[in-house]
Amino acid sequence: MHRFLGAREAGYVTMLTLVPEDVNPNAGAQTLSETSIEFTNVEYRISGRASPPILSGVSLKIHHGETIALLGRSGSGKTTMLKLINRLRTCSSGDLLVENQPVRDWNVIRLRRRIGYVIQEVGLFPHFTIEQNVCLVPGLENWPTERIKSRFAEVMQLIGLNPAEYAGKYPRELSGGQRQRIGVARALAADPAILLMDEPFGALDPVTRAELQREFLTLSRKVSKTTVLVTHDLREALLLATRVILLDAGRIVAEASPGDFLSLDQKVARDFIAASELVAGATQ
Ligand SMILES: Nc1ncnc2c1ncn2[C@@H]1O[C@H](COP(=O)(O)OP(=O)(O)O)[C@@H](O)[C@H]1O
Ligand SMILES: [Mg+2]
């Protein structure tokens, strides 16, 4: 696991060091053969607007089993990239394939059921029990009742919550961290091929966030999904991803393994790292 060690010099926080032996154990562990998602020269612009495109020249091949972190400051286009994958947005030009098929050719319902989507505010239905929330997609897919029940128990165990204890509870009875775990369980319930996570741990307190990040690492080793994780947090990207993609103003400006990212010499990457160091230092 990566840790940042802040050091104060002459009253200023100046250093942030990655402990080298703590390299992401996921890195390079998968057999990265088949392509799961492929962007080729993708542009996205709001139609009818003369303003610059929100994404441009985006080319990225994501292999089965990879955990990609889309890293970048607010407004750089990270969420838009995720939304193109599950067709909440449509590319203005270029090609986007999901499992070798153009996203526009997918039946949109089938596409979304192949994709688990975890967002910051979870979006659990308040009047549904935890079991009803988690089992939403298997229910829509008409799985037999027994299979739904056993899948519920399975995913709850994966995220470390007792199925019997939580089945009948309502979202409001859970803590923020527990609700976020339920969001992950729901995304995994129908065993999707792809997991999209948009700042999933962003709204949690630092201790709970660190706990869920550790759990995510364990989980991602168990389930080995293709995962695209959006974050503006450098530390989180280095900890969780097998490959880090840096976005700036709608373009991919750098790409590296977590082990190599801090040694990138492109100015835009150095600036991002330097800004992250200041933020990490300020919270020491
Ligand atoms: N529907 C929209 N209408 C107008 N601007 C939008 C819309 N969606 C996104 N944007 C703009 O696109 C840029 C990228 O947004 P987004 O992908 O949400 O960034 P990020 O997730 O990196 O913070 C931002 O400048 C945002 O204001
Ligand atoms: Mg966003």
The CA distance from 95 to 61, in Å, is 11
- Who has greater pLDDT, 78 or 24? 78
Question: Helix or strand or coil: residue 210?
Answer: helix
- Who has greater pLDDT, 174 or 20? 174
Poorest-confidence range of 16-25, 208-217, 228-237? Answer: 16-25
Q: Which atom of ligand 1 is nearest to the CA of 83?
A: 17
Q: Say whether pLDDT at 62 is over 90.
A: yes
Which helix (H) or strand (E) element contains residue 226?
Answer: strand 226-231
Domain contains 256: yes
Q: Say whether pLDDT at 121 is over 60.
A: yes
**Nearest ligand to the C-alpha atom of residue 247:** 1
Q: Is the CB of 171 under 6 A from ligand 1?
A: no
Q: For atom 24 of ligand 1, which residue has the closest CA?
A: 75
What pairs with residue 15 in β-bridges?
Answer: 7
Domain contains 238: yes
**Nearest ligand to the C-alpha atom of residue 45:** 1
CATH at 198: 3.40.50.300
Contact 281, 234 (CB under 8 A): no
Q: Which atom of ligand 1 is nearest to the CA of 49?
A: 4
Among 43, 54, 85, 252, which is best to mutate for testing ligand 1, by the most ligand atoms less than 8 A from CB?
A: 54
- Who has greater pLDDT, 55 or 30? 55
pTM of the model: 0.84
Q: Say whether pLDDT at 21 is over 90.
A: no
HSE-up (13 A, CA, CB side) for residue 240: 33
The CA distance from 110 to 59, in Å, is 24
Domain contains 164: no
Q: Is the CB of 276 under 6 A from ligand 1?
A: no
pLDDT at position 208 is 83
* Residue in 59, 29, 67 with CA at minimum distance from that of residue 225: 67
Domain contains 77: yes
The CA distance from 255 to 245, in Å, is 4
CB-based neighbours (< 5 A) of ligand 2, an ion? 79
Among 73, 74, 80, 232, which is best to mutate for testing ligand 1, by the most ligand atoms less than 8 A from CB?
A: 80
Report the separation in Å between the CA atom of 36 and the middle of ligand 1, taken as the mean of its atom positions.
25
Domain contains 183: no
- Percent of the chain clearing pLDDT 90 (strictly above): 62
Q: Number of folded domains in the chain?
A: 1
Domain contains 214: yes
Residue with tokens 């390079």: 28
Q: Is the CB of 75 under 6 A from ligand 1?
A: yes
**Over residues 44-51, mean pLDDT:** 83
**Nearest ligand to the C-alpha atom of residue 74:** 1
* 89-120 residue pLDDT tens: 999 999 999 999 999 999 999 999 899 998 87
pLDDT at position 218 is 86
Show Cβ contacts of residue 171 under 8 Å, excluding neighbours closer than 6 positions.
122, 124, 125, 126, 128, 130, 133, 179, 182
Residue 271 belongs to what domain range?
3-33+62-90+104-114+193-283
Domain contains 154: no
pLDDT at position 1 is 33
pLDDT at position 119 is 85
* 223-279 residue pLDDT tens: 889 999 999 999 999 999 999 999 999 999 999 999 999 999 999 999 999 998 766
**Over residues 4-11, mean pLDDT:** 29
DSSP states along 67-103: EEEEE-STTSSHHHHHHHHTTSS--SEEEEEETTEEG
Domain contains 119: no
* 126-176 residue pLDDT tens: 999 999 999 999 998 899 999 999 999 999 988 889 999 999 999 999 988
What ranges in the chain are assigned the alpha helix state H? 78-85, 108-113, 130-134, 136-140, 145-158, 163-166, 176-188, 206-223, 234-240, 258-261, 267-282
Q: How confident is the model at residue 211 (pLDDT cuts 50, 70, 90)?
A: confident
Q: How confident is the model at residue 221 (pLDDT cuts 50, 70, 90)?
A: confident
